């Protein structure tokens, strides 16, 4: 049995959680989050300097609250974990310094966690998690990737977005339609009353240098441009914008693209399970379509619990506990932070000589 305090400050959510791993199961003893959405909404997106300041203000309170709700003290813990990459460098530094300081002060092991590894671990916080090998669709505000997870935990990226992540596309189209930030929930709410088949929109593809297309990759720039031109043409015709139909049509094509390429990749790889994680994985239409198409093709579909789709510290704790259970090494207290770091080099975070 192991218990860990985990911190997450990679972007605009300050979070602390206490988790326990016992008899092969994860138990979330406490998960506390302080959202910065209201502060950033006036700018239509995350302001890095503001995010860092708010993390500094929120994190001490969140750590104390998480420990109190879990009925634990620092003396009861077996380790401390914090996100160290990827993300906003200043924001990451707040969580990393706090985590390393607590680990050093209480003589506890420290684990510097890759944010995407945390998202991949989030599916194990639900009931009946999948057994590898399986394909993960990681779809969030900053990432849209297809990752194969092998039996030994090895991770191989098979597909990615070549421009905006799906979550960024939701934010930018929401702004175009005059909706609030963040765009995903706003578009989902509006789309519920719309006709998803009213407007035909492109399913962006990525060309190969020698001809043809990357079968599993994504591009949302053409879709955003198509939405812009559609809105402009409707406005020039002095038509009242059918916002619900526009939102529904956009949401539908994004869901179709994500589902079609994920299932194509899974079938080509001979995988019988697809896992969806990340903030956009909370989208109702995406979940419904992936479940329906997956069932038709004989592929099991697993999703992270809704509470752990968006950024949270519980997923960071789950990744740390998985690493502890596998017998991997500790992270150095000299480990810093990095705005970007490839997922296939995640083991470097546990080297005696840190990579950054």
Distance CA 190, CA 252 (A): 13
How many C-beta atoms lie closer than 10 Å to residue 264's C-beta?
15
Distance CA 355, CA 333 (A): 12
* Cα→Cα distances 341→89, 241, 266, Å: 12, 42, 25
Which 8-state DSSP code applies to residue 33? E
Taking only the tens place, the pLDDT of each residue in 93-151 is: 999 999 999 999 999 999 999 999 999 999 999 988 999 999 999 999 889 999 999 99
Which tokens hold the place of 292?
A: 């329906």
Query: 28: closest CA among 275, 306, 281, 308?
Result: 308
Taking only the tens place, the pLDDT of each residue in 11-66 is: 999 999 999 999 889 999 999 999 887 788 787 788 999 999 999 999 999 999 99
Q: 108: helix, coil or strand?
A: coil
How many C-beta atoms lie closer than 10 Å to residue 7's C-beta?
28
Q: Which domains does the chain have, with CATH numbers?
A: 2-121+309-350 (3.30.420.40), 132-303 (3.30.420.40)
Q: 83: helix, coil or strand?
A: strand
Question: Cβ-count burial of 193 within 10 angstroms (0-12 exposed, 13-18 middle, 19+ buried)?
Answer: exposed
For helices 243-269 and 183-191, what crossing angle results, to 10°?
110
Alpha helices in 20-88 (DSSP H): 37-41, 48-70
Percentages helix, strand, coil for the chain (3-state, rounded to 5) are: 45, 20, 35
Distance CA 290, CA 277 (A): 12
Distance CA 253, CA 331 (A): 42
Question: For the residues 334-338, what does the mean pLDDT come to?
Answer: 98
Distance CA 235, CA 255 (A): 26
Predicted TM-score (pTM) of this structure: 0.93
Whole-number pLDDT of residue 64: 98
Whole-number pLDDT of residue 10: 97
């Amino acid at each position: 049995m192991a218990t860990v305090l985990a911190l997450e400050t990679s972007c605009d959510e300050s979070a602390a959680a206490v988790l326990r791993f016992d008899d092969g199961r994860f138990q979330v003893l406490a998960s506390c989050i302080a959202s910065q959405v209201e502060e950033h909404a006036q700018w239509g997106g995350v302001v890095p300097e503001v995010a860092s300041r708010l993390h500094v203000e929120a994190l001490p309170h969140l750590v104390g609250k998480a420990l109190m709700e879990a009925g634990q003290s620092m003396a009861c813990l077996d380790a401390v974990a914090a996100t160290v990459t990827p993300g906003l460098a200043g924001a990451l530094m707040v969580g990393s310094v706090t985590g390393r300081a607590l680990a050093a002060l209480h003589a506890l092991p420290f684990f510097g966690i890759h944010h995407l590894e945390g998202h991949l671990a989030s599916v194990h916080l639900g009931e009946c998690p999948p057994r590898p090998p399986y394909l993960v669709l990681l779809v969030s505000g900053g990432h849209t990737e297809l990752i194969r997870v092998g039996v030994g935990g090895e991770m191989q990226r098979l597909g990615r977005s070549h421009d905006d992540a799906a979550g960024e596309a939701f934010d930018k189209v929401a702004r175009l339609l005059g909706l609030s930030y963040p765009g995903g929930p706003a578009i989902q709410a509006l789309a519920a009353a719309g006709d998803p088949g009213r407007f035909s929109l492109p399913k962006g593809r990525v060309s190969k240098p020698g001809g043809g297309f990357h079968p599993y990759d994504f591009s949302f720039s053409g879709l955003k441009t198509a939405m812009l031109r559609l809105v402009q043409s409707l406005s020039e015709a002095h038509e009242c914008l059918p916002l619900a139909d526009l939102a529904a049509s956009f949401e539908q094509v994004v869901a179709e693209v994500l589902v079609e390429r994920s299932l194509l990749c899974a079938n080509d790889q001979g995988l019988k399970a697809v896992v969806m994680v990340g903030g956009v994985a909370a989208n109702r239409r995406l979940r419904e379509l992936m479940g329906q198409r997956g069932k038709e093709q004989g592929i099991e579909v697993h999703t992270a619990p809704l509470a752990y789709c968006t950024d949270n510290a519980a997923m960071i704790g789950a990744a740390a506990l998985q690493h502890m259970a596998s017998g991997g090494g500790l992270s150095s207290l000299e480990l810093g932070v990095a705005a970007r770091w490839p997922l296939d080099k995640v083991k470097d975070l546990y080297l005696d000589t840190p990579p950054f």
